[in-house]
Amino acid sequence: LVGNVVLYGATGGQAFFRGRAAERFCVRNSGAMTVVEGVGDHGCQYMTGGRAAILGPVGRNFAAGMSGGIAYVWDPNDTFLEHCNLASVELERMEQPDDLAELYRLVQLHHQYTGSPVAARLLDAWPRALGQFVKVMPIDYKRVLQERERAAEAKVQPEPMAAGRAPGCR
């Protein structure tokens, strides 16, 4: 068990906790990558960046005011929704290849560094376990990422040809 406000305002690095965290885990996290096996009330509150993988139960008011970063929550009993504050986040299925790879790597590192039996069980049953994870995505952060993606795609689009001329020629 780790105490209250662990990783409060963290700006970077990695942290792996074999066991549960008390209240306000990862509050105002802006860059740390972390794995823990459960959190008390107000987990990931006001988080603005980084990643948090929660491999166990969460307390009430999870993700309140979360505006950035991503949390992955293992929810084998389908009870997470009643503990999450949905005012600023959406819950998504784990479908994006980048998310799948990132979560797997976090759980793998957690097992490597802590010897966690929870992580070992998840890795042993990975395809089934993956379906029990929920991605917590801040609404505004998602919009910003989509806008960046659209802008990047617009830059790579070839210039349209006008009247049979090559792009850039007048």
Residue 29 lies in a domain: yes
Residue 161 lies in a domain: no
pLDDT of 154 strictly over 70? yes
Which residues make beta-bridge pairs with 72?
A: 53, 135
Residue 166 CA to residue 164 CA, distance in Å, equals 7
Domain of 149, in residue numbers? 14-153
Q: Percentage of the chain with pLDDT > 70?
A: 91
H or E element, residue 48: strand 48-54
Q: What CATH number does the domain containing 44 carry?
A: 2.160.20.60
Domain count for the chain: 1
Residue 124 lies in a domain: yes
- Provide the pLDDT for residue 94: 96
Residue 142 lies in a domain: yes
Which structure tokens are listed for 13?
Answer: 């690095």
Give 163 or 25, the one with higher predicted confidence: 25
Which structure tokens are listed for 89?
Answer: 């986040």
pLDDT of 166 strictly over 90? no
Residue 68 lies in a domain: yes
The answer to whether residues 75 and 129 touch, using CB atoms and an 8 Å cutoff, is: no
- Provide the pLDDT for residue 155: 84
pLDDT of 169 strictly over 60? no
Measured from the Cβ of residue 153, the count of other Cβ atoms closer than 10 Å reads 9
Full-model pTM: 0.89
Residue 31 lies in a domain: yes
- Provide the pLDDT for residue 38: 98
The answer to whether residues 31 and 12 touch, using CB atoms and an 8 Å cutoff, is: yes
Which residues make beta-bridge pairs with 75?
A: none
Residue 167 lies in a domain: no
pLDDT of 19 strictly over 90? yes
Query: DSSP code of 138?
Result: E
**Beta-carbon contacts of residue 61 (< 8 Å; ≥ 6 apart):** 41, 42, 45, 83, 85
**Beta-carbon contacts of residue 123 (< 8 Å; ≥ 6 apart):** 107, 108, 111, 129
Residue 81 lies in a domain: yes
